[in-house]
Structure 1
Amino acid sequence: MKRRSLLLLPLSFGLPALAGGPPPPPLTDRLAALQKRSLLPGFAVAVVSRKKVLYQHGFGQADVAGQRPYTEDTLQNVASVSKTVVGVALVKAIELGYFGLDTEIERILPFKVRNPHVPGAITVRHLVTHTSSIVDDEDIYGHSYTLLPDADRKGPLYKAFERDATVPGRLDASLGAFLKNYLAPGGARYRKSNFAKAAPGSAYRYSNIGSALAAYLVELKSGMGFDTFTKRHIFEPLGMHATRWHADPALAHRQASVYNRKGQAYPRYGLVTYPDGGLTTSVSDLARFLMAMVDGFHGGAGILSKAGFALLFKPQFAPDALPAGSPPGEPNSGVFWRIRKNGQVGHTGGDPGVAAFMFIDPAKGTGRILMTNTEFSGPGEDDDPRMVQQVREIWSALAGVR
């Protein structure tokens, strides 16, 4: 299994306008019609401004077999969109004086992390811009999921998921233990190939493990779990009362089932490196978060100071000094917030059975969210072009909300 950011999905491309003809139907009717003819079991969307939610709604099914509708309060994990929360937490940690972007991570960690191929320390800035040189080894990282106690053992994907995505009885099931085993010399999963041969800071290489390591720095300096830190400093202040990093039995009735492209439900799973993609939330909760981000982007303050928000979204590279291998579609980066060529700022994400998209549009002063309980591609597959087009249509329909 491979966790990823859907970097190349061209959500920014609008659909061609039709000359003449009747006016488009109301947005909810239009999105409902799009869902009915799509391959998406269910999805939810939101559009926000600095001060209010302009639109939010759910469509289709959260549980196909049980005919449970997907609503604005349905919960699912949002994959790498989670990294936007890691970015806010990192900046909060900087405001609290724990470290700075140029702090060498070895000054914080209780174990050594150095690229064995080239000299030079890895810094916090390298982690948040995916230039740390840490490589996600798919044979190891791809098995960093866990099956939850309530996972359906009789489901069609249970045995394959257990075989291909987990390590039954693993001893390094905590975030810190996994990172030490993978990154520190002498660790059970340490390999020199866990690091690229490019020097830290010189080349872009997307790293989920590097992202989880950034969250672990916050955990170490704050003296509390990263989940507790984000609840205290982000979720509770913003009223995100149903947002979690780990499964909550009390909220199981709101959890979406998540599906592969054949419509088969995945067993319920968690992530050892949970900060890089394990945020479970609803579109109504995530809209609260994005509204605060849009306000901060435009000079407001709240869970971060004005200076903190400015740091969060500040491009980390000059346009003529981008790291080698930077993605053409989103060549620059804030603190985990990706900056697209079209100026939009946010993140995408994909995980087994889920896809999610969240972006700020600076020109319009709004932000958009789309989350769905299916995947665009399975192991070894390319993205389904039909799904890509369907998501583009949904995303484009949200563009007119003011």
Structure 2
Amino acid sequence: MKRRSLLLLPLSLGLPALAGTPARPHPTDKLAALHKRSLLPGFAVAVVSDSKVLYRRGFGLADVAARRPYTEDTVQNVGSVSKTVVGVALVKAIELGYFDLDTEIERILPFKVRNPHAAGAITVRQLVTHTSSIVDDEEIYGHSYTILPGADRNGPLYKAFERDSTVPGRPDATLGGFLKNYLSPGGARYRKSNFDRKAPGSAYHYSNIGSALAAYLVEVKSGMGFDVFTRRHIFEPLGMLSTRWHADPALASRQASVYDRQGRAYPRYGLTTYPDGGLTTSVSDLSRFLMAMVKGFHGGAGILSKAGFTLLFDPQFAPDALPAGSPAGEPNSGVFWRIRKNGQVGHTGSDPGVTAFMFIDPASGTGRMLMTNTEFSGADGEDDARVVQQFREIWTALAEIR
């Protein structure tokens, strides 16, 4: 099991229609046609401005066996799009005076985290830009997944998932416990190889564990669970009433089943390191969040101050001083919000059975999102070119909505 940042789509905007060209079909007709010939079980999309939803709809099926439709109120995990919420929470914590981006994390944490190969303390800024030198060991990181109670034990993917997932009740089955065991000397899963040999701040290494650690800083300083902090400071103020970090039986009837490339359903799962990719939400709820972000991107205020939004979105690196290994497609970063080469700002998400994109486009002043209950990769771990192309076509169609 592996969560990653998806850099394979160009995410370019469509060109405006020229005078005299035929009128474009209605977005619903076009998207329904794209779904009909796609391999995606279901998906939902939204396009928003800073003040209203311009378009929002679901297509296909949330549960193939039950023939339950995928709607704008269907909830599913959105993978690393979750990190955009971590970014907002960190800036809120900065506004509350808990720390700043240059605070050394050992001044906050109740355990030691330091690169054993190189001198220099790790800072909050390095966590949010993936330059902390913390490396994900994929075998160990797989144990951050947990099978939820009531999952179908007879499902075709249950045994494989059970083999790799964390056993509830172990000391590392909590966010803080997992991080301490992985990152602190003496921890059961601590290895020197959990850190890059390059010094903190010198190179880019996408790290889910480093992202979860950033969220844990908020938990430590606030004295409340990260899930409680985000509900109080983000979800409730924005009216995101169906957004959770953990399974909620009250939302079970709206939960999407998620599928591998062969159409097999994964067992319902959660994440011990839940802030790095465990956000479960609907396109209806997430569009509320994105509207607030578009407003903040363009100088407004809301759940953050104007200065807070500036900090959230401003590039952390000068163009001529990018860290070694920075991805060509998204070379710069705000506070967990990735900055694409084409100027768009947001995040992608991928997890077993799910794919999600959410970006702000400065040129049009809009934000758009797409979430689907399947994954790009096939059994061999390689991206399925057909699914990638179908996802690209849907994403491009959203760019035509103003």
Could you state the TM-score of these two structures normalised by the residue count of structure 2? 0.97
Shift of 1:167: 4.4
Amino acid of the structure 1 residue aligned with 2:185? P
Stretch of structure 1 that moved more, 13-22 or 227-236: 13-22
Q: How does 1:206-221 map to 2 (within 5 A)?
A: 206-221=206-221
Stretch of structure 1 that moved more, 338-347 or 138-147: 138-147
Partner of 2:180: 180
Cα RMSD for the two superposed structures: 1.6
Stretch of structure 1 that moved more, 330-339 or 8-17: 8-17
**Post-superposition CA distance 1:262-302 (Å, at most 9, x none):** 10000000001000000000000000000000000000000
Secondary structure of 1:126's match? helix
Between the aligned partners of 1:393 and 1:17, the Cα distance in structure 2 is 17
Whether 1:246 and 2:246 are equivalent positions in the alignment is yes
Between the aligned partners of 1:13 and 1:288, the Cα distance in structure 2 is 22
CA contact (8 A) 2:182 2:188 kept: yes
Partner of 2:223: 223
Amino acid of the structure 2 residue aligned with 1:74? T
Between the aligned partners of 2:7 and 2:44, the Cα distance in structure 1 is 20
Between the aligned partners of 2:32 and 2:159, the Cα distance in structure 1 is 35
Shift of 1:25: 1.7
Amino acid of the structure 2 residue aligned with 1:256? A
Amino acid of the structure 2 residue aligned with 1:210? G
Partner of 1:32: 32
Shift of 1:8: 2.7
Q: How does 1:143-162 map to 2 (within 5 A)?
A: 143-162=143-162
CA contact (8 A) 2:127 2:214 kept: yes
**Post-superposition CA distance 1:214-253 (Å, at most 9, x none):** 0000000000000000000000000000000000001100
Whether 1:121 and 2:121 are equivalent positions in the alignment is yes
Structure 1 residues 396, 155: closer, same or farther in 2, change over 3 A? same
**Post-superposition CA distance 1:164-193 (Å, at most 9, x none):** 344476331000000000000000000000
Structure 1 residues 160, 19: closer, same or farther in 2, change over 3 A? farther
Between the aligned partners of 2:12 and 2:87, the Cα distance in structure 1 is 23
Shift of 1:48: 0.3
Between the aligned partners of 2:17 and 2:198, the Cα distance in structure 1 is 45
Stretch of structure 1 that moved more, 6-15 or 62-71: 6-15
CA contact (8 A) 2:360 2:367 kept: yes
Shift of 1:315: 0.1
Secondary structure of 2:172's match? coil
Could you state the TM-score of these two structures normalised by the residue count of structure 1? 0.97
CA contact (8 A) 1:162 1:168 kept: no
CA contact (8 A) 1:83 1:275 kept: yes
CA contact (8 A) 2:16 2:400 kept: no
Q: How does 1:239-318 map to 2 (within 5 A)?
A: 239-318=239-318
Amino acid of the structure 1 residue aligned with 2:110? P
Partner of 2:389: 389
Between the aligned partners of 1:21 and 1:128, the Cα distance in structure 2 is 45
Amino acid of the structure 1 residue aligned with 2:205? R
Partner of 2:191: 191
Structure 1 residues 89, 28: closer, same or farther in 2, change over 3 A? same
Structure 1 residues 352, 94: closer, same or farther in 2, change over 3 A? same
Partner of 1:66: 66
Secondary structure of 2:171's match? coil
CA contact (8 A) 1:40 1:372 kept: yes
Between the aligned partners of 1:257 and 1:371, the Cα distance in structure 2 is 13
**Post-superposition CA distance 1:123-164 (Å, at most 9, x none):** 000000000000000110022100000211111111111113
Shift of 1:380: 4.2
Amino acid of the structure 2 residue aligned with 1:350? S
Between the aligned partners of 1:164 and 1:14, the Cα distance in structure 2 is 42
Between the aligned partners of 2:312 and 2:368, the Cα distance in structure 1 is 18
Between the aligned partners of 2:19 and 2:385, the Cα distance in structure 1 is 26
CA contact (8 A) 2:378 2:384 kept: no
Partner of 2:335: 335
Q: How does 1:321-360 map to 2 (within 5 A)?
A: 321-360=321-360
CA contact (8 A) 1:144 1:167 kept: no
Between the aligned partners of 1:27 and 1:294, the Cα distance in structure 2 is 22
Shift of 1:7: 2.3
Between the aligned partners of 2:104 and 2:379, the Cα distance in structure 1 is 36
